[in-house]
Structure 1
Amino acid sequence: MEYRRITSIEDPLFVKMHNLMKEVFPPEEVLEFSLWKEPLEDPGIRVFVAVLDDEVVGTTEYRYYPDWNIAMTDFTIIGRPGLSLGRFLARNREKDLQALAKENGKELFGMFAEIYDPYQLEDHDFGGVKPMNPFVRREVLSHLGYKRLDLSYVHPSWENNGEAVRGLDFCFMPTDENVSEISAGLVADFLTTYYSVLSNKPHEWVQMVEDIKNRETISLLPL
């Protein structure tokens, strides 16, 4: 199995990757095909696919922010069971991010991720792919070291229609597992930067960010 980076919508593997995303994720979580052109060409956004027999069987997107020395996992998709894809993607992603942090003269502080909370919403079947079951994913990510931020979280729909998407927790995986809180300013700055690509923000999201700005720190709670 190969871990291959995609940097263009012209790459035949991107077509396969985008089709896999549409099969697995609900529509509001999938960016329209043509809108991927600039993100894929952005050197700071890293999109990799797991390729087996010329087929995309898994994919992950993430990015490293050198100024903050943190990363964000945009998504991880396991397209087939029985291939240890979760470990394959996580290990290769970790090695890549640690190399980027080392180039920055640091050890990675940690990584953000939005994680589905199936105890809030249970209507995501993720294309019937059993390893993508939100209960399974949540426990796996907990094992990796993710912790949920102590806040009520919404995010803007990637359909850019101004709707707030619920049913997720905003989480952070500190490299040092003894870290129990992070700067609220970092969280607010990160979310503002991360969602700057979407022009139509829901009121609930704007209010959430304002509330975060009024705090000094945010606790990291068990996932």
Structure 2
Amino acid sequence: MAMVPRVFSGVAGTMMILLALIFGDVLCKEVYSSNRSTFPGRRVGGGTRGECNARILVHLVPENSVFAPGATGILGLVQGPTANPVSLELSFLPEGVGSATTRTLRAASANLTLISGAAIAVPTIWESTFNCETGNGVDSVQDPLAFTQPAFPPVLSLLLPDVEPVDHPVQKALTSLRAKCGGNVPATQTLAQFGLGDLVTEEWPEQLPVRCPF
């Protein structure tokens, strides 16, 4: 009789492990789904006071600023026009990791930049911000008081490993743009593919250079 509880306990323990694995996977997917609907992202930055802070900066992601690049591994961003460009800092912080990986793009005028090799295994926070305080990597003469300008809140997106239908149009558009590396694309038409055509004003060039530094 004493063996029955032990056998039952072993079976029950196995069942609990199986249930934990099943519901753990379900819970993980639910967290991803929740992140898509509640993530406080910001795919468009700029428009604040000060020349550097007012410069438009855009992540080419869906409207809710959540994106799964999938097998393409391509990310895109657009820098708006400015007379005094500064370098751009990109930061990628995977879930469960204490420190972020950073990349710096040299100062450039209005352009569309594509980044390849974005292997996303876990939810990852992607932030992009101009180096307004230091002007690091500037290719043109800066305002001598530029270092006093506070940085504007970074453009913020959530990158996920699980691809959903909403990601497909963005993936397709970015893959098509990849073929344009080193060339130019029409500003209004290109941004319109991402629902951002209204950002282009008369200050923008008609054509955007496509940079592919990575």
Task: Give the TM-score of the pair, scaled to structure 1.
Answer: 0.26
Highest RCO, 1 vs 2 (Cα 8 Å, sep ≥ 6): 2
Larger Rg: 2
Whose helix proportion is higher, 1 or 2?
1
Task: Give the TM-score of the pair, scaled to structure 2.
Answer: 0.27
